[in-house]
Amino acid sequence: MKYPSRAGRAVVLGTAAIVVATLCARQINSADQGEQQTARLVAQMIPAFHLSQRPIDDQISAALVDGYVKELDPQKLYFLQSDVDQFHRSRTALDDSLATGNIDFAFQVFDVYKQRVIAQCEVAHKLIDAEHDFTTQDEMIADPDDRTWATTTDELNERWRQWIKRELLEYRLDDKPVEEARTELHKRYRNIKLLRIDQQQSMDTLETYLTEVAQCFDPHSSYMSPATWENFEISFKLSLDGIGAELRPDDGYTIVHSVVAGGAADKDGRLKPNDKILGVGQATGEIVDIFEMKLNDVVRMIRGKSGSIVRLQVKPADGGETQVYELTRAKIELTAQAVKGEIIETQDRVGRPGRVGLIHVPSFYRDFEGAQGGGDFKSAAADVAQVLRQFEQQGVDVIVVDMRSNGGGALAEAIEMSGLFIDQGPVVQVKDEQGNIEALRDERPGVATGKPVIVLCNRLAASASEIFAGVIKDYHRGLVIGDTTTHGKGTVQNLMDVTNSPVFNRLLQRQQQLGKLKLTIQQFYRVNGDSTQNRGVRSDVVLPSLIDHADLGESFLDNALPFDQIPAARYSPNMFVTPELVALLQRNSEERVSHDKEFGELQTVIARYLERKNRKTVSLNEAVARSERDKETADAESEALMGEEESETGAKKDAPVFPENFYNDEVLNIALDYVSALRSSATAAKK
C-alpha cells in the first residue's frame, strides 16, 4: 500500500514477502564492529522516527528481554526457568547497552539456546523411537502462554514426551504407519538443529534481536539485514511469481492466511485458509520439513520462476489427512483480482422484489507506473466507477460493496473510491511522528451515484478497506455490516536506510550497507477523529461468523499501538443513516437470523469452535482425539457455507460475484430493508 510520507515513498511489506539469505559461515559468539555500529544506529533511529516518539528506556529493555526469549522459544520447550532468571538480570540494562552498540546479550542468550536445542533434539530422537501408550488419559497444556518454564531437566523432558507423543498421534489419526511417522519426525528434528543452529550466522542473530527491539514499539516495525533487503528487492520485483498465498507463523507451524485470487493456489483450488504447510519440496528431491522454520526461509523455498514446480505437504484445516499438493508457480492474473459487479434480482434469491447492485472489491490496486505515464492505467477506483455507470444505466435500488478479506492497497485508490460516493470533503486524516495532522481530501465535485450504500466487511478487511468503510459510516452515507469490526490496522510503515546522516548514507552506498529499518511513522484517523488502529471500524449490523471469533486483528498482536483520537475534521454528513434506522435494521436482521435453520447450524459450529479454542489441554488419548477430529471435520463442512469463505470465490474468473448462501441472502434482506425504510421516511416527510 502506498502512503504519504515525509521520509520517502512508503512500502508495505507483507509478512510472507521477505527472503532471508545465509551469509558466509563464522562462529557466533559476539558482534563485530560493523554489527555494533548497526545496533547503535538502530537504537538512535527508532526513538527519532517512530510514531510513538518513545525513548529506549528500562521499560523497552524489559519488553526486549521477554520478546527475544519468546521469539527463540515460543513453546517453552528449550529454556529452563534458571535460564530465564539469568536473562532477567538484564531487564533494565539493555537500553544502556544498545546506546553504545553493545549487543552481547543477544549472543549470550543464543548460546544458551543453542545448547538447549542440541540437547533436546537428542531427547526428541529417543522419544520418537520409544513406545507410547495411546489408550491412557494423557494430556498436555494447549496454549504455551499457560505453561510455566520447566524448572528441571526431568520436567522439560516430560514436556517433550508429551510433545512427541502428540506428533506421533497426528500420524496415527491419518492412519500412517508408525515407521513412516518416525522417519519423518527424525528428519524434522535433524532439520531443526541444522536450520536453527548449524546454519545460523552472526547477522541472523543481529537481525532477530534488532527486529525484537523495533517490535517493542509496535508489531509492524522491524530491521532487515543487507542480505535480507537485497533478497527482498528481488522478491518484490517477482512478487507476482509463486503460488499466490499469504502465509503467517503460528506456534511453529506455517499457516495459510489467505489465497490470492488469480494465483496458482487459487486456480488449483485445494489450498485453503488456515491449512498448515508442513513441508516444501521442489519438482524433484525430498520434501523438507518446515516445522519451526523461519517464515522468511519458508517463503524463499516456495518462491520461484513461473512455470516451475513446487510441492507442498499440507495438513488441511478441516482435519483431513496430510496430502502433498504439486503446484505450478505462475504470475497472478490481475484480471482475476479486478473489481467485478453484477445486478441481483432479489425476487429470485429471497422472495422479495428489488434490484441490488453488488460490487466485489478484492483490493485497492493501482498501476503506479502507468499512472505516472498518464493515460489509462489499472485502477480499482476507475473500475468501480465503470460498474457504477452501468448500475445507473440499468437501474438499481441499493449498492452493496463487498470488502470482505480485502487487505488494502493504494491510499490514493481509497480516496478516489470514497469520492465516488461522497461530494468534496476530507476522506482520512494522517498524523506523523511530530504530531502534525493532515486531512487528505476528495477534491472532485459531485458523486457517481446517489443510491443507498452498504459496505460488507469482515475481520480480514484492513487498512484502505477500513478507510473506505469509515468514510461511508462517518458521512452517514451508508451502512457497514458483517463481523463485529474490521482488522484494525491504522498505521503506516516506511523503509529507511540505517545511517546517521545523508552524507554517511552516500558513503555507505559505495562501501558497506547496514540494512534497513521498517518503522511505523504515521497513523490513520477517520474524519470523525477516531483512529482505525486497533479497534477497526465497527459494523452497524453484525452477522454471525466463525471468523469473528478467531484471534484475528491488530488487537491480538503483541505491542500493538492503542486506539486513540484526534479532533474531527470539518465535514458535512448527510442523513442517509440515522440511529433509528440502524436500530430498525438490527431488529429485523436479528429476527430473521434467530429463525433461520442454517444460521442456527452456524451458531452450533461457532459454539463448538469456542469450546475447542478455550480448552486448556489437548488429549493424547487416541480415541478421544479421533472423536475430536471427526467433529472438526464435520464443522469444517458446515463452515463451507459461511459467507466470508464463499465471498472469496467472487474473485475467481468464472465464479458468481455474490454466491447464493444463507449469509449472503441475509445481506440482501438487510439491503431491501434499508431501501424500504428510506422510502418510508421519504413518504412520511412529504406528508
Interior CA angle at 584 toward 579 and 585, to 5°?
100
Farthest-apart Cα atoms in the chain, separation: 86
Describe the chain by its helix, strand, coil percentages, rounded to 5: 45, 15, 40
Backbone phi, psi, residue 638, to 5°: -70, -35
234 is written with which cell numbers?
528481488
DSSP state of 220: T
105 and 97 Cβ atoms separated by less than 8 Å:
yes
Among 28, 20, 61, 26, which Cα is nearest to 43's? 61
Q: How far apart are CA 95 and CA 102, in angstroms?
A: 10
SS3 255: strand
Q: Which of 73, 218, 474, 673 is catalytic?
A: 474
> Known catalytic residue: 52?
no
Chain mean position to CA 509: 33
| Helix boundaries (H) for 546-596 | 579-594
**Span between the terminal Cα atoms of the chain, in Å:** 49
How far is it, in rounded angstroms, from Cα 248 to Cα 15? 7
Which has the closest alpha carbon to 244: 220, 228, 268? Answer: 268
Contact 135, 621 (CB under 8 A): yes
How many Å apart are CA 30 and CA 68, to the nearest integer?
Answer: 16
Please confirm, yes or no, whether 204 is among the known catalytic residues. no
Element (H, E) at 456: strand 453-457
Residue whose entry in the numeric block shows the C-alpha cell 493532515: 438
Q: Which helix (H) or strand (E) holds 229?
A: helix 226-237
For 573-595, letters b (16+ CB in 10 Å) and e give eeebbeeebbebbbebbeebbee
Cα–Cα dist 101/141, whole Å:
39
Residue type, 606: I
DSSP one-letter string for 54-91? ----HHHHHHHHHHHHHHH-TTS-S-BHHHHHHHHTTT
Set 61, 225, 379, 463: catalytic member: 463
Q: Residue 194 gets which letter from DSSP?
A: I
Spatial CB neighbours of 501, under 8 Å, sequence gap ≥ 6: none
Considering the candidates 76, 451, 489, 518, report the single residue annotated as catalytic.
489
Residue 615 C-alpha cell reads as 480448552
CB contact at 8 A, 497 and 42: no
Q: Are 213 and 555 in contact (CB under 8 A)?
A: no
> Has 489 been annotated as catalytic?
yes
Which residues does the annotation mark as catalytic? 463, 474, 489
